[in-house]
Every structure is written in structure tokens, then in C-alpha cells.
Amino acid sequence: MSEPAQPAVAPKKLAHRTPAFDKLARLYCWMEWCTFGPWLQRCRCSFLGEIGDCRRGIVLGDGDGRFTAQLLRINPAIEIDAVDASAAMLQALKRRAAPHAARVHAHYADARTWQAPDPPCDLIATHFFLDCLTEAEVRALTQRLHGALSQSGYWLVSEFAIPEGAFGRWVARPVVWFLYRSFALLTGLTVRSVPDFAAALRAAGFTRRGRRSFLRGLLIAELWKKD
Ligand SMILES: C[S@@+](CC[C@H](N)C(=O)[O-])C[C@H]1O[C@@H](n2cnc3c(N)ncnc32)[C@H](O)[C@@H]1O
């Protein structure tokens, strides 16, 4: 990987600043295990079987790289551009993906302004990342990256969700509220609710091809394709 170990220049800032995940990087995996056990990783990886033919992927906000490392492991032909605004998270990602280092290109950048390389890729993955953006930012991102994805490419999303019904009202909503408050304290995240990414993807010209839910709908994984 050609990127510097600790980039000297921080990613360009936009209207709302990027949350600071650096100090969580080493603990992140453990925090996740202590709260949700294996379910987030199951959610991230639930469509791996469907994207086996992909050869060039962009992973936005992949954090410590557990999805990227797993994808590189099971798909020996894929190359990944991993984009994150946390240098420490990118370092963790590089460590995890080290056996496949030649196929990972790490970019210390704000995904809201990062320019995807040519030619178009055939996979974009955003796992528990779109919830760090406002609805307007998700709309802008999906419109902008539509052209970065080949006609047969996939957009893979994992997110928290608040399902209809009593479980949604009494369990999922408080859990999501608690997570947003915790990340506001820990990282300075200013977003307060999960954006309607499905509406944004639809408006940008994508169609949903698959949806799986976990923990009674608190977690969802979706597979989208261009119309
Ligand atoms: C909640 S964590 C999710 C990490 C990982 N995708 C996962 O599934 O657990 C959000 C990640 O997105 C990164 N991030 C947040 N806003 C960003 C932005 N505007 N541009 C790039 N990365 C960003 C954070 O640094 C962090 O690594």
C-alpha cells in the first residue's frame, strides 16, 4: 500500500465535521462484541455469496476493516479501495488485511468529497456508515457515486433500523437513540437519526435486489443494483 502510515493532512471538512473515531479504533471490535455479539459482522457479510464475481470494490467508512478483510479472504480476485476519515481505523484495517495488502488501497479521506478512481467499480459497500451522514449528504453521495459503479455493479448496505411494532417502539428506537448519544459523546458525531438511505438510493437510480434482517429487524442488510 502506498499510503503514508499517518497522513499529515486531515481530510477536507464539510458543513458538518467528520466524527473522530481515532480513539475508538483499538476498542471498536470489543465494544461491538460486548453489545451485539456476532450479529453486526453477520449482517455485514450476509450478501458475500451474491457478490462473489466482483473484481473492484469501494468500501466507505469501513472502520477497522473486518468486512474488507473477510471479502479479500473469500474473493482472491477482488481489489478494494477503502476510504475512512480516521487514520487509526485505517491502520487497523491495514493490519487486518495485511495478508492481502497488495489488493487494498487505503484512502484517508472524507467520503463525502472523495473522488472514486476510474474505471467504474462493481461493488460499493457501506456498513454502518451512512448513519454518520445527514439525509442530504446520503442523497449527494448516492447521486455522485452512481457513475462510479458499473452497470452490473452492486451497492451493499448494512444499517440499524427501527421496525414497525412494539419491538421497534420499545426496544429498537431506544437502542438507536442510545447509540447516537454514545457516539456523540465519544466521537463528536452530530447526526441524530438514521437517514432514509433507501429513498436516496432509489432517487439516485438504484433498485433493491435483496434485504435481510437480524435481531428482529434492528439490523438490516440490503443489496442494491442500478435500475
Ligand atoms: C460507525 S463506524 C462503522 C465502521 C464499520 N463500517 C463497521 O461496519 O463497523 C463509522 C466509520 O465511518 C468513518 N466515517 C465517518 N464519517 C466519515 C466520512 N465523512 N468520511 C469517511 N469516513 C467516515 C469513521 O471514521 C468510522 O470508521
- Amino acid 9 reads V
Output the CA 60–ligand 1 centroid distance in Å: 7
Output the CA 61–ligand 1 centroid distance in Å: 4
64 lines ligand 1 (CB under 6 A): no
So what's the pLDDT on residue 202?
Answer: 98
What's the whole-number mean pLDDT along residues 110-135?
96
On the question of pLDDT at 4 being above 80, the answer is: no
8 A C-beta contact, residue 222 and residue 206 = no
Q: Which residues, at least 6 apart from 169, have a Cβ–Cβ distance to it below 8 Å?
A: none
Q: What ligand 1 atom has the least distance to the C-alpha of 25? A: 27
Pocket test for ligand 1, best of 21, 67, 114, 182 (most atoms within 8 A of CB): 21
Give me the percent of the chain exceeding a pLDDT of 70.
93
DSSP labels for 169-213?
IIIIHHHHHHHHHHHHHHH-----S---HHHHHHHHTEEEEEEEE
Output the CA 84–ligand 1 centroid distance in Å: 6
The b/e string for 162-175 (b: 16+ C-beta within 10 A; e otherwise) is bbeeeebeebbeeb
On the question of pLDDT at 8 being above 60, the answer is: no
Q: Report the domain count for the chain.
A: 1
115-119, 125-129, 201-205, 220-224: which range is least confident on average? 115-119
The answer to whether residue 4 sits within a structural domain is no
Condensed to tens digits (0 to 9), the pLDDT of residues 153-177 reads 999 999 999 999 999 999 999 999 9
96 lines ligand 1 (CB under 6 A): no
Among 219, 214, 68, smallest CA distance to 131 is for 219
Based on DSSP, count helices (H) and strands (E) in the chain, helices before strands: 8, 7
Residue 211: burial class (beta carbons within 10 Å; 0-12, 13-18, 19+): middle
Confidence band, pLDDT 50/70/90 cuts, at residue 47: very high
Residue 178: burial class (beta carbons within 10 Å; 0-12, 13-18, 19+): exposed
So what's the pLDDT on residue 17?
Answer: 79
The answer to whether residue 77 sits within a structural domain is yes
What's the whole-number mean pLDDT along residues 192-203?
97
8 A C-beta contact, residue 154 and residue 50 = yes
pLDDT mean across residues, the chain: 93
Phi and psi for 118 in degrees, rounded to 5? Answer: -90, 155
The answer to whether residue 200 sits within a structural domain is yes
The answer to whether residue 214 sits within a structural domain is yes
CA distances from 36 to 14, 25, 28, 31, 129 (A): 31, 17, 12, 8, 17
The answer to whether residue 14 sits within a structural domain is no
Among 138, 17, 218, 100, smallest CA distance to 124 is for 138
Say how many CA atoms lie within 13 Å of 60 toward its Cβ: 26
Output the CA 63–ligand 1 centroid distance in Å: 5
The answer to whether residue 89 sits within a structural domain is yes
What's the whole-number mean pLDDT along residues 102-112?
96
Q: What is the CATH number of the domain that holds 193?
A: 3.40.50.150
Q: Rounded to an integer, what distance in angstroms lies between the CA atom of residue 157 and that of residue 176?
A: 17
Interior angle at CA 146, CA 144 and CA 151, nearest 5? 160
So what's the pLDDT on residue 1?
Answer: 38
**By residue range, what is the domain housing residue 144?**
22-109+116-226
The answer to whether residue 2 sits within a structural domain is no
What's the whole-number mean pLDDT along residues 196-224?
98
Q: What ligand 1 atom has the least distance to the C-alpha of 112? A: 19
Pocket test for ligand 1, best of 39, 86, 110, 180 (most atoms within 8 A of CB): 86
85 lines ligand 1 (CB under 6 A): yes
Condensed to tens digits (0 to 9), the pLDDT of residues 63-101 reads 999 999 999 999 999 999 999 999 999 999 999 999 999
